[in-house]
Structure 1
Amino acid sequence: MSDSGNDADPHVTFDRQRADRIGIEEAVLCGHKTDAQVAAILGDAVTEGRRLLLTRLDPAQHASLPEDLRKSLDYCALSRTGILGDIPALAQTPHIALVSAGTSDFGPMSEAKRVLAYSGLDATAISDVGVAGLWRLLAREEQLRQMGIVIVFAGMDAALPSVLAGLVPGVVIGVPTSVGYGVATGGRVALDAMLASCAAGVTVVNIDNGYGAATAAVRFANMMRRVAVAG
């Protein structure tokens, strides 16, 4: 099912048929790869003229790329993502919302927004509506009820996804973030809180995993489109 093509690094076998199988292209996780490996993978894509999504590409690793490769990327330091090639016209349906409890959650939220854009999906960002000021969320309730997919980013006690899942009919995907201190350090409390949610049907991804949440949303969106066409 996989075609190695002409991968420059003998340790790399790029999955060029993944989008045909599952509707999502393979992304390159740059964390724990050497600078040379990232450069080789990116160079292959440039040579072949194909699009590529790079995740967890830290600013230092981005700065280490050869100048021509660095200039070829649309790079976002906040989300630590790099996009090679064009971003397609963004589909407005299904309606997707990205909701953050606080401004400290912007990193994973930005990653999700970039992954969705790479996949051709638009998303509405609604920021800083955590439960400490519940009126901020309730002021957006009617808007959020129109969304087919709601991705929620929260650290600390991560109560926001549970509250939202009790208010809106759409798919709710929770992203626990590593925002917090003391017992909330690292996001484990946020993860456990989301997994233990009393609200029905909350889907939960790993800590700070904006990419995982976005690709889950892509799968849901693709399924919604297939159902709409079949209907």
Structure 2
Amino acid sequence: MKRPSRPTRRATTALVAIALAVGLVSLTTTQETPRATAAAAGTTAPGAGAFTDMTVVGDSITALYNDRPGDARQGWWSIVGRHLGVPVERYAQSGSGYLKVGSRCTGDTFGDRPGALASHPDLLVIEGGRNDWSYCRDGLPAVAPDAMVEEAVTGYLDAVRDAVPATTRVIVLGPPWGPEAHEHAARVTAIVRAQAEAHGFEFVDMTDVLDASTVYDGTHPDRDGSRRIAQRLIAHLEGARA
């Protein structure tokens, strides 16, 4: 239906209330105008209106980074959000995953963050699996068998499918895996990929996006590593080959 050229006072009031409610939901957002911040990040914003917001569920590869363009610790999610010109809300914790609770076997898993799904974002990106080669047993990490990893990934993606509206674009990233504990990369990635596809979600492979030259400690991306993660996701969103 064509929008009236002069909305009623009641309609205008309702729109303002909705805008305020959306503003209150965001926990971590970009702070500048979309096109200015995209330029500062060295990217070009696509056509306006593709998305209005972005939510990320993740581990330390998301949690440890900031939203300062050009900073050595600018997050991949910040680069993507500024490229798209949308605010980004994060639900991320170091050491966590679909199966694994946070660092030192404390904290939570992805499934323990219902707020991420309740926010009903336009774009939901799930970055995880890197820690799910292990689980906590008696307060210590132990190698997780494939069946345990698959059950955890399946359970979380079931919850996502049940909670978010059909209009939400859900993208599951393959675990961005540096050299540390790389012997588990292929098996965990295969499980995450299979379950993402089985649930009808988009999967973006991050195999080889990180290597010894793009991490600072064997696991976590440096500035170039975060940029490479962002570029691969942006290429997927724009239908190009990474």
- TM-score normalised by structure 2 residue count: 0.43
Structure with the bigger RCO (C-alpha within 8 Å, sep 6+) is: 2
Q: TM-score, normalised by structure 1?
A: 0.45
